[in-house]
Amino acid sequence: MRAENKFIVKLLLMVMAVSISSSMATLHRVGGKQGWHPNVNYSDWSVRQRFYVHEWLLFNFDKRYFNVLEVNQTSYDSCNDRDFIQNITRGGRDVIELTEARPYYFLSSGGYCYNGMKVAINVEVPPPAPAPAPVKNVSPPSIAISISLLLFLISFAVACFY
């Protein structure tokens, strides 16, 4: 492949990457870098962020020891793992979509809930999307600008090489 063709392909890939990342839903990695382990303060983690409907949670854990069960508030408070609502556990990198605006409660069974492996989050209705019409005193969306810039660069490159 000619060098300028490679350059154009690179630009196209960049545009695709930017568009895909801007349309992807938010994924909250439970516990941040620490993941899903005993002796992590998950209240401390959950109060630092907001959760909206159609976002996702990711639980990263060693499935030989731990699991993820969705439970109700009573079971969360008492670390009861028997009457769970659903079992999120699959391979240890497990996701759940937050489909409703309500509190969600998760814990690990095997006694680890008593060592802090439980998390409560409150899911909210997303704030309304910004109006499509241009509004004054609002910072412009930088992703749209970088896409236009890249598209400009591509047409420039194409014009130069063909």
Q: Which is nearer to ligand NAG, 22 or 41 (CB)?
A: 41
Judged by CB, which is closer to ligand NAG: 8, or 117? 117
33/28 Cα distance (integer angstroms): 11
- In DSSP terms, which residues pair with 104 in a beta bridge? 121
Q: Which residues pair with 47 in a beta bridge?
A: none
Interface region with ligand NAG, contact rule CB under 6 A, candidates 10-18, 36-44, 133-141, 154-162? 36-44
Question: Per rule CB under 6 A, is residue 75 in the interface with ligand NAG?
Answer: yes
What does the DSSP 8-state code read for residue 90? Answer: S
User: What are the helix (H) ranges across 81-141?
Assistant: none
Buried b (16+ CB within 10 A) or exposed e, 12-26: eeebeeeeeeeeeee
From the DSSP assignment, how many helices (H) and strands (E) are in the chain?
Answer: 4, 8
Residue 109 binds to ligand NAG (criterion: CB under 6 A): yes
User: Which of 4, 44, 62, 97 is the binder for ligand NAG (CB under 6 A)?
Assistant: 44
Q: Does 72 bind ligand NAG (CB under 6 A)?
A: yes
Point out which span in 16-24, 27-35, 42-50, 150-158 binds ligand NAG (CB under 6 A). Answer: 42-50
Q: What is the binding site for ligand NAG (CB under 6 A)?
A: 41, 43-44, 47, 67, 72-75, 83, 87, 89-90, 109
